[in-house]
Chains A and B, each alone.
Chain A
Amino acid sequence: MIEAESLHKRFGNVDAVVDVSFVARDGEITGVLGPNGAGKSTCLRMVYGVLSPDRGSARIDGIDVRGETSVARAHMGVLPHAAGLYNNLSARENIRYFGLLQSMQPDALEERTQLLACALGMEAFIDRRVKGFSQGQRIKVALARALVHDPGTLILDEPTNGLDVMAIRNLRSMLVELKSQGRCILFSSHVMQEVAALCDRVVIIGRGHVLADDSPETIRARCGANTLEEAFLHVLGNAEGVS
Chain B
Amino acid sequence: MRTLLTVFRKEFLENLRDRRTLLSALLFGPLFGPLLFGFVVSRMLNQSVVETDEPLRLTMAGGEQAPGLVSYLESQGVQLRFTSFTVDAARAAVQNGTAKVVLIVPAEYPTRLLAAVPAPLFLVADSGDSETRKTADRARMVLAAYGSGIAQSRLELRGVSPLLALPVAVNDIDVATPSGRAVAILGFMTYFVLFAVLMGGLYLAIDSTAGERERGSLEALLCLPVSRSHLVGGKVLATCAYMCLSLAISLGAFVGVFRFVPLERLGMSANLGAGTAVAFFAICLPFVPLGACLMTFVASFTRSYREAQTYLTTVLLVPTLPIAFASIYSLKTKSSLMFIPSLSQHLLMTSVLKDERISAWDVLCSAGSSLTLALLLLSLTARHWRRETMLG
Interface residues in chain A, defined as those with a beta carbon under 8 Å from any beta carbon in chain B = 45, 48-52, 69-71, 73-74, 76, 78-89, 93, 97-98, 100-103, 129, 142, 145-146
Q: Answer whether A84 and B226 are a contact pair too, CB < 8 Å, given A50-B391, A89-B10, A101-B3.
A: no
Whether A84 pairs with B217 at a CB distance below 8 angstroms is yes
A-B contact count (CB 8 A): 78
Min CB distance B372 to A, Å, is 30
Min CB distance B17 to A, Å, is 4
Min CB distance A3 to B, Å, is 18
Q: Answer whether A52 and B219 are a contact pair too, CB < 8 Å, given A88-B17, A100-B6.
A: no
Interface size on B, residues (CB 8 A): 23
Min CB distance B221 to A, Å, is 8
Q: Any chain A CB within 8 A of the CB of B357?
A: no
Q: Any chain A CB within 8 A of the CB of B18?
A: yes
Min CB distance B105 to A, Å, is 76
A52–B14 alpha-carbon span in the complex (Å): 32
Which of the residues A71, A78, A83, A103 comes within 8 Å of B216, measured between beta carbons? A83
A-facing residues in B158-216 (Cβ within 8 Å): 215-216
The proximity string for B residues 5-42 relative to A, scoring 1 for CB distances below 8 Å and 0 otherwise, is 01100100110011000000000000000000000000
Whether B10 pairs with A73 at a CB distance below 8 angstroms is no
A35–B385 alpha-carbon span in the complex (Å): 30
Give 10 nearest A-B pairs by CB, closest first. Answer: A84-B216, A82-B216, A73-B225, A84-B217, A80-B219, A70-B225, A84-B215, A78-B223, A88-B17, A100-B6
18 additional A-B pairs beyond A49-B223, A86-B14, A101-B7, beta carbons within 8 Å, are: A50-B219, A69-B225, A71-B225, A73-B225, A79-B220, A80-B220, A80-B223, A82-B216, A82-B218, A84-B215, A84-B218, A86-B217, A89-B13, A97-B6, A101-B6, A102-B224, A129-B17, A145-B220
Interface residues in chain B, defined as those with a beta carbon under 8 Å from any beta carbon in chain A = 2-3, 6-7, 10, 13-14, 17-18, 215-226, 388, 391
A73–B3 alpha-carbon span in the complex (Å): 15
Which of the residues B217, B221, B225 comes within 8 Å of A74, measured between beta carbons? B225
Whether A52 pairs with B388 at a CB distance below 8 angstroms is yes
Chain A hits for B217, CB < 8 A: 82-86
A83–B18 alpha-carbon span in the complex (Å): 21
Chain A hits for B215, CB < 8 A: 84-87
A80–B1 alpha-carbon span in the complex (Å): 26
Min CB distance B23 to A, Å, is 14
Q: Answer whether A88 and B14 are a contact pair too, CB < 8 Å, given A50-B391, A82-B219, A103-B2.
A: yes
Min CB distance B387 to A, Å, is 10
For residue A146, which residue of chain B has the nearest CB? Answer: B220
Whether A89 pairs with B6 at a CB distance below 8 angstroms is no
| A–B Cβ pairs within 8 angstroms, 19 of them | A50-B219, A50-B391, A69-B225, A73-B223, A73-B224, A81-B219, A82-B217, A83-B216, A84-B215, A85-B217, A86-B14, A86-B217, A88-B13, A89-B14, A93-B10, A100-B2, A101-B3, A101-B6, A101-B7
Min CB distance A48 to B, Å, is 5
Min CB distance A177 to B, Å, is 22
A88–B211 alpha-carbon span in the complex (Å): 12
Chain B hits for A70, CB < 8 A: 225-226
Whether A88 pairs with B18 at a CB distance below 8 angstroms is yes
Min CB distance B2 to A, Å, is 7
Chain A hits for B225, CB < 8 A: 69-71, 73-74, 101-103
Whether B18 pairs with A48 at a CB distance below 8 angstroms is no
For residue A45, which residue of chain B has the nearest CB? Answer: B391
Chain B hits for A50, CB < 8 A: 219, 222-223, 388, 391
Chain B hits for A100, CB < 8 A: 2, 6
A98–B7 alpha-carbon span in the complex (Å): 10
Whether A98 pairs with B224 at a CB distance below 8 angstroms is yes
Whether B226 pairs with A101 at a CB distance below 8 angstroms is yes
Whether B220 pairs with A142 at a CB distance below 8 angstroms is yes
Whether B6 pairs with A84 at a CB distance below 8 angstroms is no
Min CB distance A187 to B, Å, is 15
Chain B hits for A69, CB < 8 A: 225
Chain A hits for B218, CB < 8 A: 82, 84
Min CB distance A15 to B, Å, is 16
Chain A hits for B6, CB < 8 A: 97, 100-101
Chain B hits for A76, CB < 8 A: 223
